[in-house]
Amino acid sequence: MKLLGQLHTMALTYQEICQGERAWVALGNFMNDWFDYAKDQRAELVVTPIVLPEPLSQAMFRWAVFCAASVEYLCGHYGVTCPSWVYNSAYYLTEPWFDSPMAHKPQVQERLIQQTPEPFSRRNIYCGNRMFANKYEFAEQYRALSASQSFSSSI
């Protein structure tokens, strides 16, 4: 559980998943810090390695690999130095994991294979390319577009 004023780091996110929090709720809390509340502290959000529990279930291992891929992807996308723990050979799946609604269908799997960013696909995770859509950036772009259209129509 996050304390008031505490950063919602990826290490904390993974810990919450292991403690039974739904993965996308925990990841959503991390993304709120990454994209808005603590975007000036992004390196701090990812520097601490995740801790793998013992025993380690297949589901918890998948989420550990997903967290490592997420850190690599986000750091690359936002120009943050990626911490070395992410490249540990332990964070790779041997079997493909398709994490998406209807992923049992071959056409959905093919779409996921084509659209999944490299930090995930290299680790055998296929989830598409929309899991880290930044609602804060979309809102800023929308406001800027609306303002420029209002300005253009007043001329």
For the chain, domain boundaries: 10-154
How confident is the model at residue 126, as a pLDDT?
95
Tokens (6 digits) for 9? 């780091």
Burial class (CB in 10 A: 0-12, 13-18, 19+), 141: exposed
Phi/psi of residue 130, each to 5°? -110, 0
CB atoms within 10 A of CB 120: 24
- Rounded CA separation 127/112 (Å): 6
Phi/psi of residue 56, each to 5°? -105, 110
pLDDT digits (tens, 9 = 90+) for 83-132: 999 999 999 999 999 988 888 899 999 999 999 999 999 999 999 888 88
Q: Would you mind telling me the total number of residues written for the chain in this entry?
A: 155
How confident is the model at residue 131, as a pLDDT?
82
How confident is the model at residue 113, as a pLDDT?
95
The amino acid at 35: F
pTM: 0.85
